[in-house]
Structure formats: C-alpha cells, structure tokens
Structure 1
Amino acid sequence: MLRLGLRSSASSPGSSFTPCGGSTGCSSAPLVLLRALEDVGYVPEDGRSKARAANEVRRRRKIGDLPPVYPNGWYRVLDTCVLKRGQVRNVTVLGEQVAVFRGQDGKAYVLDAYCPHLGANLAVGGRVVGNCIECPFHGWQFAGNDGKCVKIPYAEKGFICPSVPDFVKVRRWPSCEVNGHIMVWFHCDGEDPQWTVPEKRAITQGEWVYRGRSEHFINAHIQEIPENAGDFSHLNHLHTPGIIFKFLQHEWKASWEPQSEPNTHCAKMFLNHSLILFGHRCSLGDIHVVASQVGPGLVFLDFEQILIGRGTIIQCVTPVEPLLQCVTHTIFYQWNVLPLIPKIILAGESVQFERDVMIWNNKKYVSKPLIVKEDSTIQRHRRWFSQFYSENSPRLQYQRDTFDF
C-alpha cells in the first residue's frame, strides 16, 4: 500500500501533514512515499493480513546476540518544515517521549515530554509561550534552552523565576537544525556532542532544492542498516534485477573506507552503478555515488550523472524503540533540473531499498558470522561502528510479545 502525504514523527504512523513544497497533486510538487511497518517486508500466508504477518514475525523471530540498541550519535526527530513558530509535536525517539517545539525566537527545542510535577505530557495539549513550553495540566512553564521551570502560575508569588530551585526542570536534549532536519544528540552517559552535523552548502544556498522524501519503518537492530555499506556481495545479487523491465539489469562496483582523525566518526562508500541493457553496458546510465556516513544514523548519498546532473539523498536512521527503526530518504537536487528527474530517482531508490527491508524484517543478527575473504569489509565496518557504543550503552532487556497496528 502506497501512502501519499507526510507523517509528523516516527512515533505516529497514522498521522500526516502537508508535504514541504506543496500538494502532491501538482507535477512540480515534491514526491512523498510513506510506508507503514506492515507494508513492506512481510509475506502473508493463508489469507492473513499484512499486519498479522508482521505481528507474528516480530513475536517469533529469533533476534540473535544483539549489540547495544542505542548507539551514541545524532538522530533526526522531525523535518524542519513541519514545525512552525509556536508549534509543539510529540515524538518517540530512542524509546523516549520528547516534546519538540519552536519558540518565538524561531529556534527548535527538544525536551523530555513528561512534566516533573505530576507527569503530564507537555507535547499533548501543551502550548508554546515565548521560548518555553507550558504544561497543559497546571501551567508550569519550562525554558527550551535549559529545561528549567521558569513559572508556576498559582504559587505564592506567581511568576517566581528567581525562586524556583534549579532541580525543578526537565531534561533538555542537545539539538541542531541543519539540511532541513531537526536532529538530537544522544549519549548514554549524558556527554556533550562529540561532533557536529555537517551542513550541505548547496542546500543552504539554494543550489539544490527539496524534491521529495520517503519513509520506512523497519523491524531490525539499527546496525543492520548501515552495515550494508560493507556488504558488497549483496549488491549484485539482491539489487541486480531491473526495477520494471527484466531486460534492464543493474551492475554495482563499490569500496568502503573509514576516515582518519579528526573524522573517525565518518566513513565513505564509493559506488559506481551501471545499466546493462539487453546484455550490454549502457554508459549513459552510469551513476557515481559517494555515500558519506556521519555517526550511526546519518548518511549523505551524493551522486552525479552525466545527463541529469547532481544531487544528494540524505538518509536518516532513527531508533523509535530497540528493534524499530524509522528510515527517511530526503532528496535535494539541482534547481534547474526538471523536477520529474529527482522524483524518478527517489522512487527507484525506494524500490531498491525495499528489497533490503524484506531481508532486515525477517533476519536475525549474527554476532559471529561465517564469512569468506570477499566479506572482510563487513568485519571492518563492524569494528568501525563499535566506536558508537559505550560501556553503559543500553541493551535489549526483553522482547515485546505483541505489536498492534
């Protein structure tokens, strides 16, 4: 089932909002492809629904000996365009409820959602007052920049900002807003951000414009998704068949390298894609891609093609809960290229990605895989990725028995 529209957060698969750039009915409007968890990667049997098939897989599948479930790093929580000045949204990220709101100063703030007074959810019925979020239950107000309580309206002195103890506050999540995304920093030990999210100047300066996005929910450990960067052998097996026509095949050549100091949190994959038409290589179909991974949850797929120009797809992987990932692909393309071109690229990328989703949703994690020499990059990638885990990184304590859609 293909759904058009945009969801407000990874935690609310039933809600939607108007996509950035206009209505999906307009030929120049961005393309928005949304997939619910049960839409992709499950094979119903005996007349069962996709939702039931997904529930059964989640309940019965062996999960394996998993690494910690939440690596340290930056993660997307929302798209910039869905949070207007004075708005607040409730989002689930890394198993936590957070209130994401935009103050009257135009900045986006992220706080823990639950009021320390009596536990009301600040993002459900709460309102933005200046650069604070006001609790819908009793009107306590918390500042976006540090989470401290600045007002208890019915207290003896009314506005008592100087008198409120410092411990009366909610946790503030370090955040940034870049490349059209609102990102939060997570570290299991509460350490400050150890790197910044790079800004794509071509986007900021308007050379590349937003042309669409896709969204998928995946039933897997977060490490399974970026690990594809080191798994070259699956490319020419899983991704070779044509998207539409059987006589059109794909050929892939790839390499992967971690980066050196001070960018050890980064790695690059170099990917060359060719089209094989009726058994012969079509050079006009060559696409050169540099996939730059920044931390555990962010990848820039910069690509160039001789006929249709340059652009980037930003892949964001955000854990909603231990074995549920929200993956978005947002495409920005040269403003002077026909909008249909990046839409076709995004649609094609989504088809290829969903072949991986079928695998991820049904596999178990193998901590000590049987590999051959050609698979050595997978182990190198795992060693590189391990830097995002700390001694106190949370591990899966239990497996949920049911999951209702």
Structure 2
Amino acid sequence: MAGLRRRRGEVGSLPAADPRLPRLPRRPRRPGARPPPYPNGWYRVLDSAQLPPGTVRSLSLLGEHLAAFRTRDGQAHVVDAYCPHLGANLAAGGRVVGDCIECPFHGWQFRGEDGKCTSIPYAEKVPDFAKVRTWPCCEVNGMLLLWYHCDGTGPTWAVPEQPQIAAKEWVFRGQTEHFVDAHIQEIPENAADTAHLAFLHGPSFLSGSDLRYTKSKVWDFMKHVWKAEWQPEPEPNQHCSRMLLQHTATVFGKRFPLLDLSVSARQVGPGLVFLIFEHAFLGHGVILQTVTPLEPLVQNVVHKIYYQKNVPAIVPKFILRAECVQFERDITIWNNKQYLLKPLLVREDASIQKHRRWFAQFYSEKSTRPSAPKEGLDW
C-alpha cells in the first residue's frame, strides 16, 4: 500500500501516487525489534456522518473485525463482528432493531450497551451468558472513536472536544486520507525529531512530495524555515504532549511574512493530534490528525481541517494542500525505513529518546507482539 492515498470532502481529487516511484528494499526485520503494534488509547473508526441512524457498518482495525451500528435514537455502538452462536458476521446483512443489532443468520439480537443477547426467535429462554463483546466508544469533533486496551481496561482519559467546532465557529473545509506502511510509533515520533524539519521539509512545498525532485534548482528560490520544540505534558495530562512550531518562508533569500505561521500540535494518546493554526491575517483553524492501526504495519491516517467560517475557503484548502505535500514526504521515509530499537543518536537527538519514554506508557505487559516468522515454506 506504499503511497496509496485518497482525498475526500472539499479538497478535490488528485491522481494516485505513481506506482513507478522507486521503493527501496526493506532491511530484514526481527519480530522483537519493534514495540507492540497496538498501543492502548482512543482511535478514530468513522466520521459520525458515515453512520446514520439505523445503519450498520463493517470495520477492520487493530487486528479485529468489528461491527458499528447506530440506533434510531442516535446512539452509536461498536461490537465484535462475529455472532457467538455460529459465527455469522453481524455487519454483513445484520440490521438495527431497537437498541440491538440483529444477526442475519438466525435473528439473535444483541444489545449495543452491554452486548447481552436479548432475543432468540426460536428459543424459550435466552442464556444469561449469551453475549457479544462490546467496545467503549464516544463521538467527539464529528468522529466516532473506539477505546482499545489490551488488558480490557476501560478508558482512563477522555477525548477533548474542540470548542470552536462544537460551537460551529470553525467549519469543515476538507480532508485527506493516507495509508502508511509503518509502525504507528514512527508517525508521532516525528514531532520530537526536530532535526529532520530543515532537511526534509525545508525545500519548498511547490517542489512536491517525490524526494527525487524536492531539492530541484527550479524551486530553490523558496525555502521553509522551522523552529520547533517538543515536550510531554505534566499530570493529569501525562497522556498528552505538545510541539510548538514556528514557520517562516523565504523567497529569493528574503523573508515572506504572509507565510509566517504559528502551530501548536497537541498529541492526545497514540492516535490523535490537534494542530492549531494561528496566522496574523488569515485567522485560526485546526487540523485533526487521526492515526488508526489497521494491521501491525498499516496505519490509516486522516487529516480533517476546520477553519474560521468568515475566512475564504481557499485559505484552509491551501494550508491542507501544503501540509499534505509535506506529510507525503514523510510517508516515503516511513514506507521504506526500519524501526531501530537502539538507534545511533547524537546529543541534538535527545528529544527522540524522551519521546520514546513518554510513548511507552501506551503499552502494557500483555500488549500483543508480532509473532516470529515460521521456518520453511509453510504459510
């Protein structure tokens, strides 16, 4: 899936990544050389608008097959996809009945709140132990999010609501969607790797995301200048970290003030980032970045931008486009790199190790680890 991308909303469509782009061979990967693939935390599964009342959606994420459904009164639920009776997929033909999801095979009905079976059409009594596993979920900022914890522990923190979105002061202006072939930890670790900003993201976004051409002399007249600092937050928000970013641009060696931008990127758990933009003339807005592991080394990354409704839509579209180009440069690196448990670092890289210590809180002793590959030709 390297480089695969999809754009939706008001951003418009762009062609898929050129399959002819070079892809470097991966170095051999040892199963124990990476952290567990699924950190504990909240993850986006759908936009709220994608689950109207009375509908059922099939989900595949975090190595699980799930079914999401919304009751007629608007309550969303997520349960295991497979019926404990004979294994039918509740999301493949199942329907919403009251506050339950009904199995398409024999009509067993499971309550969304606790997963308990409330009705078996042909049975005189429903066994007390008949139930399907439910997953804690919430709806914030127009998204349905699911709580994952390898130990089955309930949510230990809440997803913050962006007040300007709730008050409709900032309106949706588009989104991008990418699939990244990497461990989830690689993506937020970029915030602490401030040294890569000048080298990878210094060349003008006008030069595109293909790393063979980003340093082309054609676009050398414009450069991005970044100043960044990353720090974890203290208790009770130890599950959060923050990167403060100052962006300026030079054109023919002279500063171009119109592109001065202040960004506060707040990481909330392993899979949510709030990028708040502040511009002296062009107003304020936020990009909501969500990272959801589909498989151990496949991440679904969505960027949704909300901006002041009195600002012309072309402004947030331009910001999202520029951010998308820069993000796709990172994707090329992630898709072809190897996670090193003990990287060779210099003193200026100290924040990377600090970030790894901070991120370790999202793993538990029981966190799923990649299985060792089998010897021989058996799959």
Q: TM-score when scaled to structure 2?
A: 0.90
Q: Deviations over 1:96-128 (max 9, x none)?
A: 011011111201110010000111110111111
Q: Residues 117-159 of structure 1, C-alpha deviation per residue, up to 9 Å, x if partnerless? A: 111110111111122111111111111111111111122x3xx
Q: Say whether 1:116 aligns with 2:84.
A: yes
Match of 1:107 in 2: 75
Q: Which residue of 2 aligns with 1:50?
A: none
The answer on 1:253 being equivalent to 2:227 is: yes
What SS is found at the alignment partner of 1:183?
Answer: strand
Selected match of 1:98 from 63, 66, 72: 66
Q: Check whether the contact 1:33–1:213 (CA below 8 A) recurs between aligned residues.
A: no
Q: Where in structure 1 do 4 or more consecutive aligned residues deviate above 4 Å?
A: 1-6, 32-36, 42-45, 398-401
Note the C-alpha offset of 1:281.
1.4
Aligned residue in 1 for 2:159: 197
Question: For 1:221, which of 183, 188, 204 is the aligned residue?
Answer: 183
Q: Where does 1:2-401 land on structure 2 (aligned, <5 Å)?
A: 6=8, 19=9, 30-31=10-11, 39=17, 44=21, 61-63=27-29, 65-155=33-123, 157=124, 163-244=125-206, 245-398=219-372
In structure 2, relative to structure 1, the CA distance for the partners of 1:400 and 1:99 (3 Å cut) is: farther
Take 2:61 and 2:6, find their aligned partners in 1: how far apart are those partners?
23
Judge conservation of contact 2:7–2:177 (CA < 8 Å) in 1. no
For 1:32 and 1:151, the matched residues in 2 are separated by 46
1:221-261 deviation digits (Å, cap 9, x = unpaired): 00000000100000000001112143121010000111111
Amino acid at match of 1:95: G
Partner SS state of residue 292, structure 2: strand
- C-alpha distance 198-3 of structure 1, shift in aligned 2 (>3 A): closer
Aligned residue identity for 2:280: I
Aligned-partner SS, 2:191: helix
Distance between the aligned counterparts of 1:270 and 1:359, measured in 2? 23
Residue deviations 1:338-382, cap 9 Å, x none?
Answer: 111111111111100000000000000001011111100000000
| AA partner of residue 387 (structure 1) | Q
Partners of 1:79 and 1:33 lie apart in 2 by 19
Q: Does the 8 A contact of 2:89 with 2:103 survive in 1?
A: yes
Structure 1: unaligned runs, 5 residues or longer: 7-18, 20-29, 46-52, 158-162
Sequence identity of aligned pairs in percent? Answer: 58
Aligned in 2, Cα 1:388/1:127: closer, same or farther, shift over 3 Å? same
Report the Cα offset of residue 61 of structure 1.
Answer: 4.3
- TM-score with structure 1 setting the length: 0.85
Displacement after TM superposition at 1:44 (Å): 4.4
Q: Retained in 1: the 8 A contact 2:165–2:171?
A: yes
Q: Is the contact made by 1:212 and 1:331 (CA closer than 8 Å) also made in structure 2?
A: yes
Could you tell me how far apart the structure 2 residues matched to 1:147 and 1:350 are? 40
Change in CA separation of 1:397 and 1:381 when aligned onto 2, cut-off 3 Å: same
Gaps of 5+ in 2: 207-218
